Structure 1
């Protein structure tokens, strides 16, 4: 059996390494390129609730970088309300979204003041809309006094400490 030339063995090693790299790189690149994001399929106007029907999926192409602070998944977008006009084919900035209002302006709400064991409840009218956690102004129906409070998950307003 003849002894192979040293350069022939080296060529085989280099060829094997190149083949392995050629197999690995496209797999990595295709996995990276398969990132799917959601963008508007039509114009979404301010105040409009975003639904899955107004969005379409697109696959990122290699080399294109997705900007920071953009919403690209259904969990981030479904049920949110547009703060500004969202154009088709463009990323959706998270700053252009808000939660849907839990209390509308002019709605009658229950206002609660809780301090230790003391709870005082009253009826008020909201002077501005709000989502849970938002600070809003309300007008007490009985006294006419304007109060500032936090919108709670149940739709009531908590004022005071």
Structure 2
């Protein structure tokens, strides 16, 4: 007997963990499977709906097998570790100043982190760039 599925219902297939994923783990492709939650499942927009939105990201919370993953449960991998020496770049109106600082917290691309200037000891905030530098001011 064939099961008829209405064309109006395309399912509610979401990627879910196949294993327990702990905070700080970088999510691997083989840790994710697709699960059809049907019409009564979680709404899209509340849960991540594509594998590309998960693979390579870092878990912020414990992710349990078979459960949808909320959009705030994962983030970008940390490019900077707490205490790491980082290159700091200030750029404005064609002027570029580079220096080094010590990260006072970990951060991924786009995160605002606090850093301490190695020469002056002054604490400032900056935005982590995709290349691992921290952009300040400007």
| Pick aligned residue for 2:6 from 28, 38, 47 | 28
Question: Where do residues 5-154 of structure 1 align in structure 2 (5 Å cutoff)?
Answer: 26-29=4-7, 32-33=10-11, 35-61=12-38, 63-68=39-44, 69-154=46-131
C-alpha contact (below 8 Å) 1:37/1:59 kept by paired residues: yes
Q: CA deviation at 1:139?
A: 0.9
Higher-strand-fraction structure: 2
For structure 1, the residue ranges without an aligned partner over 5 or more in a row are: 1-25
Larger Rg: 1
Q: C-alpha separation between the residues in 1 aligned to 2:32 and 2:94? A: 49
Runs of 4+ displaced beyond 6 Å: none
Q: Tell me the SS of whatever aligns to 2:82.
A: coil
Q: C-alpha separation between the residues in 1 aligned to 2:74 and 2:49? A: 12
C-alpha contact (below 8 Å) 1:111/1:122 kept by paired residues: yes
Higher-helix-fraction structure: 1
Q: Tell me the SS of whatever aligns to 1:28.
A: coil
What TM-score comes out, normalization by structure 1 length? 0.75
Q: CA deviation at 1:65?
A: 3.2
For structure 2, the residue ranges without an aligned partner over 5 or more in a row are: none
Q: C-alpha separation between the residues in 2 aligned to 1:117 and 1:38? A: 45
Q: CA deviation at 1:28?
A: 2.5
The aligned length equals: 135
Q: Tell me the SS of whatever aligns to 1:102.
A: strand
Q: C-alpha separation between the residues in 1 aligned to 2:73 and 2:55? A: 14
Q: CA deviation at 1:59?
A: 2.7
RMSD over equivalenced CA pairs, Å = 2.1
Post-superposition Cα deviations, 1:40-71, rounded to whole Å, max 9, x if no partner, equal 1121111111112112222343x323324101
